[in-house]
Every structure is written in C-alpha cells, then in structure tokens.
Amino acid sequence: MKLARSKNGSLDPVQGATGLSDPTHGARHVAIIMDGNGRWAKRRHLPRALGHKKGVEAVRNIVRVGGEMGLEAMTLYAFSSENWNRPQEEVSDLMGLLRQYIQSDIEEFVENGVRLKVIGNYKALEPDIVAMIDNAIARTAANSRMTLAVALNYGAQDEMLRAVQHIACSVAAGDVTPEAINIDHISGALDTSDLPPLDLLIRTSGELRLSNFLLWQAAYSELYFTDTLWPDFDQSELEKALQSFGHRERRFGGR
C-alpha cells in the first residue's frame, strides 16, 4: 500500500495512486533541480545563452502541466547562491531571462490561479528585478490552484542558518526555551513553511547530487534522477517521474 503524509501529519493511503484518475500519483509537492541547459546547447554547437532560453521554455511548459495535473506546489531551483561564481556574462543572461519570464508570464499566473512564491535571498538581486518579483507575488497572493516556488539566490545551508538565527532570536526574547525547540520550530522557520511537505525531488541531466537544495525538506522525499537535459524535460518526462513515485512504498522511517 502506498502511503502519503496528510496535512495533519498522519500517514494515510493514497486513493487512486496507481490509476489514471490521479496523474500526480498522490504527490502534492514536487521540486526540480533544473540542470543541463549548458550541455544541451553544447551538444548542438549553440551558445549557452540559447540553452538557458530553451530552459525557460521548459519551465513555462512544466508549470502549466503541473497545474493541469493537480499538483499543489512545485519548487524550481532557478539560481543558487553559488551561481554568482559563474562568468558575469552568463549571470547577466540569466537575470535578463528572469526579467522576461516574469513580464511575459505574470498574466498567465493570474488567469490560471498560480501563486508565485520565491525562496532564498532574492532581495539581494538588482532593484528592478526585486520590484518585479514583489509585484508578481502581490498580484498572485490570493491564487490557490497551485503554488510555484522559485528558488533564487538560494542555498539550503543558508536557509537552515537563517532558520536557526530566527529561533535563537525567539529564545533570546524569552518566547521559547531551548529545551522546547522541536522539529516544527525548525520547519516553521524555513522558507517553505507554508508549502506541503516535499514528496518528490527530481534532478535532470544525470547528475546524482542535491547541490545544496532543500536539504531539510528532502529528508523523507523520494528522489528521481534522469539523464534527460532540462530543456528536453516535458510532460512525458514529468509523468515518468510521477509514475516512479507512485510505485514506491513510503515508510517515513517506519516499517
């Protein structure tokens, strides 16, 4: 029997997890490490910038598909805190694509009920991008069909550090004692505190590591690795990942 963590934390059977009636196979929250744009371009003797542009098209498509399938949340690793170490030209290209994506897709988010959320320290980005993101977040705040969480200037270790600092401030203020701190305090201080527990984490391009992404949240998530490069990751690839998820038995540390 396939089990899933319910909203109240209990383990419940997934209804229809193996049938066509549930294309998510019981998954509520899927995260993706979108890897392989550069290799996609290199194999075609194209500039890396075109690989990133094709990757944005894949994002647009997979967000639509996720909403249509009925996913509650999708978290995409768009720009890590380590990506600043890339050549300045490539970083500029990525920031330009981010601007274009927000401008071109915000109306679709509004119309399709997608709530935009950003995790990571996006306030450190250029002021015009920050303003665009804040506007998009505000315009979609009441949407409830699906939450799209985009990780920008994000690193899981930094996220956990900020969570610990937040809890330390609560201890210093006398709001909680050190002995009373529990898992819920930490989960509640993370950037993803308002999202469902992470069910499935996908990484494209054949790399087998998490790259400082959702390390706390992935504790009991299912992992799925595919050799498909991100620009080629489409609906059929997402369906394969969800089908794999649907065939796994989740014990959450139990028997």
Q: Is the pTM above the cut of 0.85?
A: yes
Q: Classify 45 as helix, strand or coil.
A: coil
Q: Position of tokens 């075109």?
A: 50
Residue 143 annotated in active site: no
Q: Classify 136 as helix, strand or coil.
A: helix
Instruction: Please classify residue 55 by burial: count the beta carbons closer than 10 Å to its beta carbon, then call 0-12 exposed, 13-18 middle and 19+ buried.
Output: buried
β-partners of residue 184 are none
Q: What is the mean pLDDT of residues 91-100?
A: 95
Tell me which of 2 and 112 has the higher pLDDT. Answer: 112
> Under a CB-based contact definition with an 8 Å cutoff, are residues 198 and 217 in contact?
yes
Q: Which of 8, 12, 22, 83 is catalytic?
A: 83
Pick the CATH number of 25-155+197-241 from 3.40.1180.10, 3.90.550.10, 3.40.190.10, 3.60.15.10: 3.40.1180.10
| Residue 16: pLDDT band with limits 50, 70, 90 | very low
Percent of the chain with pLDDT over 90: 89
Q: Any idea what DSSP says for residue 37?
A: H
| Residue 21: pLDDT band with limits 50, 70, 90 | confident
Give the tens place of pLDDT for each residue, 189-244.
Answer: 999 999 999 999 999 999 999 999 999 999 999 999 999 999 999 999 999 999 99
User: What's the confidence (pLDDT) of residue 249?
Assistant: 87
Q: What is the mean pLDDT of residues 6-30?
A: 65
Percent of the chain with pLDDT over 70: 92
User: What's the confidence (pLDDT) of residue 11?
Assistant: 46
| Residue 250: pLDDT band with limits 50, 70, 90 | confident
β-partners of residue 200 are 30, 222
Mean pLDDT of the chain: 92
β-partners of residue 149 are 75, 117
Residue 85 annotated in active site: no
Q: Classify 204 as helix, strand or coil.
A: coil
Q: Which of 8, 12, 22, 35 is catalytic?
A: 35
CA distance 112 to 107: 9
CA distance 229 to 153: 22
| Residue 7: pLDDT band with limits 50, 70, 90 | very low
- Residue 169's alpha-carbon distances to 128, 165, 174, 216, in angstroms, are 31, 6, 9, 21
Q: Rounded to 5 degrees, what are φ and ψ at 215?
A: -65, -40
Give the tens place of pLDDT for each residue, 31-87.
Answer: 999 999 999 999 999 999 999 999 999 999 999 999 999 999 999 999 999 999 999
Side-chain half-sphere of 34: how many Cα atoms within 13 Å?
29
Q: Classify 223 as helix, strand or coil.
A: strand
CA distance 137 to 122: 12
Side-chain half-sphere of 121: how many Cα atoms within 13 Å?
13
